[in-house]
Amino acid sequence: MQLPARLQQVRVARTAQKRRLICQAGGKVMLEVSDLQAKVADTDKAILKGVNLTICEGESHAIMGQNGSGKSTLSRVLVGDPQYEVTGGSARFQGQDLFDLEPEERARLGLFLSFQSPIAIPGVSNIDFLRLAYNSRQKALGKPEVEPLQFYGHVMPKLDTLHIDPSWLDRSVNEGFSGGERKRNEVLQLAVLEADLAILDEIDSGLDIDALRDVATAVNGLKRGNTATLMVTHYKRLLNYIHPTHVHVMRAGQIILSGGIEVADVLENEGYEGITNLLKKEPALQTT
């Protein structure tokens, strides 16, 4: 009966209030989600049922959970997907109410979502797309926009890190790309845009071992003291490359357990049943 003993060592935050105190000990609060509720706009089906999450600068969070538990919905609601409607709660990012901002304004503020299945945009080249996106962020930051030639200088080193062939730049965004190539392209965009909070929705799915290492190296290379990462994943293998400071478990639209990498160990060894059993034995660990 080692597990409960180990888990007792897990840093558990039971309320958003308490999490904030922990944050203040570390970096500045970047994202603060309180009691977030959301539904699918078309069908009125409630997906998020009171999510609490606080992410501070310098932290890496991982959210794990079964299919349909609301992980991807949470990431999409945060970036403003019109498919979902927020029905309650709040989310503040960099001190601003996220739900007062349009999706493009959120992006310009430094929020980035790497999509689970990135869409193809025929006819728009990667280089044009990247430059447009980069320049909108530059403009928002009050910095000068860059010319095409200058922009190549900015992009080339990022291509090297990700082992991406420069010929990609002239291809249409994600058109004819394999699943793995699309994921790499998402990380290339993240690298170019230098976002403050990167939400990586199943960035590891569809990647082979080498590609996963490349992508993880790139993500780690982008970490700075004032940035943060939120990963949505099913498997611990990603967490072996990108070490999380916090691991959350989501079930039925709520975060039910928060801790360190140990939580991922429990999941890896015993599955979601392990988490259920644990919470039965130690109800005090439940966060909501």
Partner 1 sequence: MSLACKAGCLHSKSPGSAQLPTRRSFFLAKGFRLKERAAPREARQTYLAAARRSSAHRTYCQSGGGTSVSAREQGVEQADAPPSESAAPPVLPQNGAVSAAVRDSWVGHLLDTWADINASPDTPELLQELHEECGAALQSARMPNTRVESFRFTDVSSIIKSQPQVPEAAEGAARGMLSSHMLREDHELRAVIVDGCLDQGLSNLSGLPDGVYIGSIRDAPEEVVAMRLGAQATTKGTPFTQVNGALAQDVVCIVLPPGAEVTQPLHLLHIASGREQSVSLNSPRLLIILGRDAHLQILEEFCPLDSNQRECYLTNATAEFELAEASSLQHGYVNLESIAAWHVKSTLVNQAARSHYALTEANLGGRISRHDVVISQMGPETETTMRNLQVCGERQVHDLHSSLRLDHPSGRAQQLHKCIVASSTGRGVFDGNVQVNQKAQQTDAAQLSRNLLLAAKGAVFARPNLQIIADDVSCTHGCTVSDLEEDQLFYFTTRGIGAEQARKILVYSFGKEITQGFRYPKLEARLEVAVNDLLSNAGAL
Q: Tell me which residues touch partner 1 (CB under 8 A).
A: 79-82, 102-104, 106-108, 112-113, 115, 118-119, 121-124, 129, 132-133, 136-137, 140, 172, 189, 193
CB of 195 to partner 1, least distance (A): 9
Identity of the residue, 138 or 245, whose beta carbon is nearer to partner 1 in the bound complex: 138
CB of 97 to partner 1, least distance (A): 18
Identity of the residue, 175 or 268, whose beta carbon is nearer to partner 1 in the bound complex: 175
Q: CA 30, 35, 37 angle in degrees (round to 5)?
A: 110
Residue 9's contacts (CB-CB under 8 Å, 6 or more residues apart) are 262
Closest CA relative to residue 131, chosen from 150, 110, 113, 117: 150
Reading the block at residue 226, the tokens are 């004032």
CB of 2 to partner 1, least distance (A): 43
Give dist(CA 52, CA 257) in Å, integer: 11
CB of 56 to partner 1, least distance (A): 23
CB of 279 to partner 1, least distance (A): 35
User: How many of the other CB atoms lie within 10 Å of CB of 71?
Assistant: 25
Contact 78, 199 (CB under 8 A): yes
The interaxial angle of helices 126-140 and 179-193, nearest 10 deg, is: 30
Contact 169, 125 (CB under 8 A): yes
Sequence-ordered strand ranges (E) for 191-227: 197-201
Give dist(CA 38, CA 51) in Å, integer: 10
CB of 109 to partner 1, least distance (A): 9
